[in-house]
Structure 1
Amino acid sequence: MAGTPNAVARMLSLLGDEWTLLIVQRALLGARRYGDFAAALPVSNTVLSGRLQSLTADGLLIRSQYQSNPPRSEYLPTSMGRSLWPMLTSIWEWERRWVPEHAEPLPRMHHATCGRPFQPVVTCRACDGPASGKDVAAQWGPSGSWERSIPSGTNRRRSSGRRSGAALLFPQTMSVVGDRWAFALLVAAFVGVGRFTDFQAQLGAPPATIADRLSVFTDENILGQSGGRYGLTEKGLAFFPVLVCALAWAQRWLPSPEGPAVLLTHTACDRRFAPVLVCDQCGNRLRAEQVLPVS
């Protein structure tokens, strides 16, 4: 339906909050009860209670009573919640490798199948070949447009953004997915938009908004500037797995009646692109239960 939020906008409304991502991540690693989450995350009781309630309402967690007297419940990830693991794995690796501002370095991930620390690699489901932002072409699908891909500012749960103490593990990721204009701007950079006026024309955002987001991305070395054009740095290009895994999740679980918001093509095989993560050590496809942080 014209003008209604598409899968991208709905995904950003659900996931554009760091506490939401961190709680889902802990649930995938085995946290079940309120005390498990409280012990694992430096989050206030008010915020934790609110996020658990909203994650249950949004279908990412299910609340199950395990004790009746007194009543006690646990929170289990649904299929929708469990399928966020490729996006969360990609975020963890990008922050670990490219963001030096963590108080303590993020540990590498361990692949239980081959028994080694690893880095996730994006491949094409159609041909099993490697894929990157340089060989995946994007075009709007039936429900796609910049206008429909940007969530409204009134329906989002926010963690106060990258400048607050809430940005604990994913500070620079949240400067992208935690801001309704920044995600769209980065996607525009991936499809070749490079000039200030072109960003403004494509996104329909106020000039001050575009200038602020470009400043953030250049400060964080996600974008570089040369000759009046902005382009993705090596660090910016490395965010590609997060973008495509987030998009794949959104279009699976939050579809529009008209069809996909974005159509991706792997230019190496000229077929529809869907991301698959593999282990860079053994080459096997990754599965959620096989990915563990190195202690």
Structure 2
Amino acid sequence: MEEDPERGLSAIGQALVILGDQWVLLILQRAFVLRVRTFAGWRDRLPIADSVLASRLKELVGHEVLTPVAHREGRTRHEYRLTPRGLDTWSLLVAIHSWERDWTGGMCPSLIHESCGGEARPYLACGECGKPVSARDTETVRGPHATFAGIGPPRRRRRTARADAGTDAFGYRPESMEILGDRWSTTVLAAALLGTRRFVEFQSELGIAPSVLTDRLRRFVGRGVLRQSDGDYRLTEKGLAFFEVFAFLVHWAQREFTAPPGSGLTITHRPCGAALAPVLACAVCTRPLHRHDVRFLPVPAGFAGPDLVSAGSPTVLISSRPTRACP
């Protein structure tokens, strides 16, 4: 009997088995932003091979992120709906957009908060005290059996090239894809956020091949996520800002997956002393954001990619209202 390669992984490791892939992130993004639900819908909106798309959809169903339902036009075809587990990735995906807006340049879709009517410009807030949170406001403690070997998932796919996101109005940008869409990159950045600094420390903590580690560190330095000084690799402000995405990844993973005892992370918000329950808040009214009361506005004319044209609407909603059902 073949051993399950995910057995013994930490919750974060199990999450990265699912999310540590560029195509998966783009499939989920299209499900939320453009409400894509069918195989043909993703195929038409992504430069992805049919075999790769079929494989990713099968995996997302297997991990209970999507669920197939009979298509309303017949029983021989299916739609793929987001499950409660899939819907809970919403904050993580919006946090990626927020980081891109602040740190990658170029045009990004605006997120409108329906409750106050303002451009939300989401920021990370503490669910306990409601105050803004940054990496410097927190303390992260690893459980007694938490190791980076339990964070980095087993590789089951070849890395897949994708089209340049700069031509796509809603596509994630290369910086995001290099961090979260690649399992080793995510693990290297997680180690940096937890205080790892030197090459030998990264190699020892992660059990990563020197050539792979050299490549990931070089990319991060080139992207301005890390800076190298006297043999140390330290997070820049851009790298520290990715903590917002990391916080939502940890929260989602540890809520959704069962893992070996003592293998988790505890993030504490120092100003209030509570375990961090991350929420996205609106920069205009400071109230928490929920997926049912926000919408993305298209980017200005002349920048919009083919997805906006095919959406057929002046606004593209992320909504769970009955009249505008979320996938």
TM-score of the superposition, structure 1-length normalised? Answer: 0.88
Aligned mate of 2:22, from 9, 18, 23: 18
Q: Does residue 1:261 correspond to 2:264, yes or no?
A: yes
Contact 1:160 1:166 in 2 (8 A): no
Structure 2: state its 5+ residue gaps: 1-6, 166-170, 299-327
SS in 2 for 1:205: coil
Q: Does residue 1:77 correspond to 2:79, yes or no?
A: no
SS in 1 for 2:253: helix
1:285 is displaced (CA, Å) by 0.5
Rounded to whole Å, the distance in 1 between the matches of 2:196 and 2:260 is 28
Equivalences for residues 140-219 of structure 1 within 5 A: 140-141=142-143, 143-153=145-155, 155=156, 157=157, 159-160=159-160, 164-165=162-163, 168-219=171-222
Deviations 1:227-260 (A, max 9, x none): 3322111111111111110111111111215255
Where does residue 307 of structure 2 map in the other structure? none
Where does residue 62 of structure 1 map in the other structure? 67
Task: Say if 1:116 and 1:227 are closer, same or farther in 2 by CA, change over 3 A.
Answer: same
Q: Does residue 1:5 correspond to 2:3, yes or no?
A: no
1:201 is displaced (CA, Å) by 2.6
1:220 is displaced (CA, Å) by 0.5
TM-score of the superposition, structure 2-length normalised? Answer: 0.80
Question: After the TM superposition, which of the residue ranges 285-294 and 201-210 deviates more from structure 2?
Answer: 201-210
Aligned mate of 1:51, from 56, 60, 75: 56
SS in 2 for 1:118: coil
Deviations 1:115-171 (A, max 9, x none): 222211111122222111111111112552112111122x3x45525xx53765242
Rounded to whole Å, the distance in 1 between the matches of 2:164 and 2:185 is 18
Amino acid at match of 1:38: R
Where does residue 304 of structure 2 map in the other structure? none
Count of aligned pairs between the two proteins: 286
1:183 is displaced (CA, Å) by 1.5
Where does residue 275 of structure 2 map in the other structure? 272
Where does residue 224 of structure 1 map in the other structure? 227
Rounded to whole Å, the distance in 2 between the matches of 1:108 and 1:159 is 30
Identity %: 36
- The CA RMSD measured in Å over matched residues stands at 2.2
1:70 is displaced (CA, Å) by 6.2
1:9 is displaced (CA, Å) by 1.1
Where does residue 242 of structure 1 map in the other structure? 245
Rounded to whole Å, the distance in 1 between the matches of 2:120 and 2:288 is 12
Task: Say if 1:219 and 1:72 are closer, same or farther in 2 by CA, change over 3 A.
Answer: same
Rounded to whole Å, the distance in 1 between the matches of 2:27 and 2:235 is 30
**Structure 1 segments of 4 or more deviating over 4 A?**
67-70
Contact 2:10 2:260 in 1 (8 A): no
Rounded to whole Å, the distance in 2 between the matches of 1:26 and 1:226 is 40
1:47 is displaced (CA, Å) by 2.7
Where does residue 45 of structure 2 map in the other structure? 40
1:67 is displaced (CA, Å) by 4.2
Amino acid at match of 1:20: V
Q: Does residue 1:117 correspond to 2:119, yes or no?
A: yes
Rounded to whole Å, the distance in 1 between the matches of 2:139 and 2:111 is 29
